[in-house]
Structure 1
């Protein structure tokens, strides 16, 4: 028993000692940031969301799905942090404009790239690049023909993760679903009573449990817990945008974090299943790898993005980040969010470093502002920083979280194949 305890304590010590940054003897050569857009307005109207809640929802000042003014400012603050961070790391010089921006064809992704550029490359003429036509295979590969899609295989992969029992998966999340419903219905106790549930037009429990393909081959995946995901997303965005929840009790960052547990589980099931990522993110993963290989000692195995620029920014959506993560087996946790969640403005950051020995390695991190930093437009300077989590690449990363570029290449190519 004493030996086992000593081993566990030693393991915990080793884990907590993992460095958050590379050793000073390493030289940073290139960075690729795959990010989600910043705070946007809800996709559903306040009236539609209000069918599930006792109190009315606040109104956004922009059309559904648009980056908000506060969302834009928060992304600019994040861009300024990236600039200071990579200036300190020796990658960017004073007045350096060597950053390449690529955005998907939506207002929120284009505006996010432009807002990031204001902070990351101030004073530079930032061009927001896009594919010649929409949809863009980097972000919407399944919509680009001829796409190699197999909906039945994708559904089977999701089903296999939960033993083919979506109802059982939903029941395991019931306590967290009840907590979220208590917030919506402003119940005094958890779970809400039957009488309290009758006070609203729509209840979470009304959502059918279904996991099947429709007649056109599309995937139907619904349950009460999965219904939470869309509503919790709107709640998170409204809070991050600084909106006031008139008459609501208990709407704060910690309460929303608890609600995001169910949201995160749903997003994980829908998008982080590896087969989903393989079908949807293969193009992105291949071009990400080629971009990290460009200018390295390795042969370039695909089509790079960004020419010789030191930093490449890809501005996409939550699925852009989570499906890529599911494909490559990447996991993270930053304060204020569910495990593996794509936060507004947050992103996976891939860095190529060169060691003194000449070996080139890849380090992966996840970076995101917390909800209060978004809501309060907190400047990220001095001792104030976004959440930064070192990400382990399965079968590749070493004890210092560095992954040799040669092994990272094999990992990505294997996942895509």
Structure 2
């Protein structure tokens, strides 16, 4: 990962990348005070969720073994989440949201997680890193075998997606029929084929024996389908490549010595390959018809938590937040972050991190109050660990880690923090919410 080190000296500079502005997280002389924060966090580094027969069919190479069950947070992933929690603690104390010394008062911090092992342990790690030696607990749905509608309303049966409407919305976002997807991403698909050695795979050997061609970009059609849980999914080379690219990123974050069988090196190659993963999420999680169905409960929770102490509250939290609450963690998955981004029209590209929703990354919603007129504003940031930090288990630092200030479409986006007036933000939330998906 030496290619990333070339950019270490850029952390303290202002960069503009596709509407994503990067600043040091500590600013002096502010005329605003931070009052409330909600963090929608992805869980930490996990093992691949499943090892299907297809994984062995599309490459002659053996996949590496992981130290935990499929889909579980690894011990290293827990450590990396603890480091992320330490960073949040430093940040909140620097902003005056948490006391500089000692444990926060009861109710100040609340952590709600999904029911998976990887989200529950990630919640614990964040909390222990942010408030070490303090007796707090995390919260999650009591029945761990039931799908939590807060994070997965469609899969929980709260509302349904229509396949035809979803396909039309996806193709509208794509700007072309779904069948053109492989052609659009021909270059990274060819790169993936080379990394997998697809032409020498068991699958291709069978095709060659039958005198048939075997091209990775066309061996499957790009199609969408709805599984038995009601989730709309993409099937085909781009979807498969999205999974493989994420596996390689997880291998790198896990510190494995043979990432992608030593066939993936260089910044440009990582960015090219992860473009397939980002494309999959852009279409299948950020398309507005899909995102508003899948993201409504979480977006309502975010909006309600930010204003739970205000008389002008328009959206209400379903969680039992204390009047003293200042920090709410919602620990879920990359798809949850992408859903909320799709609902609000947020787009970003991360410096030194080719995955737009990396392990441990957090979409951070902040409520600010202007000191002179007491008006309230919202800013949205993306906090994350770079590839180097994940690879090397590096401790994060306020001055050396950027905060991405995201522009919110339809808002004023005032100043370097891209502040949005609370009233406008609340209106945007209400317009994005799908009523039938409320819980």
Give the RMSD, CA atoms, in angstroms: 2.7
Higher relative contact order (CA 8 A, sep 6+): 2
Q: Superposition pairs for residues 17-416 of structure 1, below 5 Å?
A: 24-45=30-51, 49-93=55-99, 94-97=101-104, 98-133=108-143, 134-163=146-175, 165-185=177-197, 197-201=199-203, 204-205=216-217, 206-211=219-224, 219=232, 221-245=234-258, 248-252=261-265, 254=267, 255-296=269-310, 298-305=312-319, 306-307=321-322, 308-338=324-354, 341-356=356-371, 357-381=373-397, 383-385=399-401, 387-400=402-415, 401-416=418-433
Give the distance between the partners of 2:376 and 2:368, measured in 1 at CA: 6
Greater shift after overlay, 108-117 or 237-246? Answer: 237-246
Residue-by-residue CA offset, 1:218-261 (whole Å, 9 max, x unaligned): 74532312220111111111111011218933434734333101
Give the distance between the partners of 1:373 and 1:261, measured in 2 at CA: 21
Contact 1:46 1:58 in 2 (8 A): no
- Cα displacement (A) at 1:359: 0.8
In structure 1, what is the equivalent of residue 11 of structure 2? none
Contact 2:411 2:425 in 1 (8 A): yes
Runs of 4+ in structure 1 over 4 Å off? 15-23, 212-220
Give the distance between the partners of 1:60 and 1:218, measured in 2 at CA: 27
Give the distance between the partners of 2:389 and 2:255, measured in 1 at CA: 10
Give the distance between the partners of 1:403 and 1:396, measured in 2 at CA: 5
Residue-by-residue CA offset, 1:331-376 (whole Å, 9 max, x unaligned): 122123447x211000100000101221110010011101221121
Distance 1:102 1:211, change over 3 A: closer
SS in 1 for 2:123: helix
Q: List alignment gaps of at least 5 residues for structure 1.
A: 1-11, 186-195
Contact 2:171 2:177 in 1 (8 A): yes
Residue-by-residue CA offset, 1:29-52 (whole Å, 9 max, x unaligned): 010000110000012339753433
Q: List alignment gaps of at least 5 residues for structure 2.
A: 1-15, 205-214, 435-439
SS in 2 for 1:204: coil
Give the distance between the partners of 1:17 and 1:389, measured in 2 at CA: 6
TM-score by length of 1: 0.86
Greater shift after overlay, 207-216 or 112-121? Answer: 207-216
Give aligned pairs, total. Answer: 393
TM-score by length of 2: 0.82
Distance 1:19 1:407, change over 3 A: farther
Give the distance between the partners of 1:410 and 1:236, measured in 2 at CA: 37
SS in 2 for 1:139: coil
SS in 1 for 2:381: strand
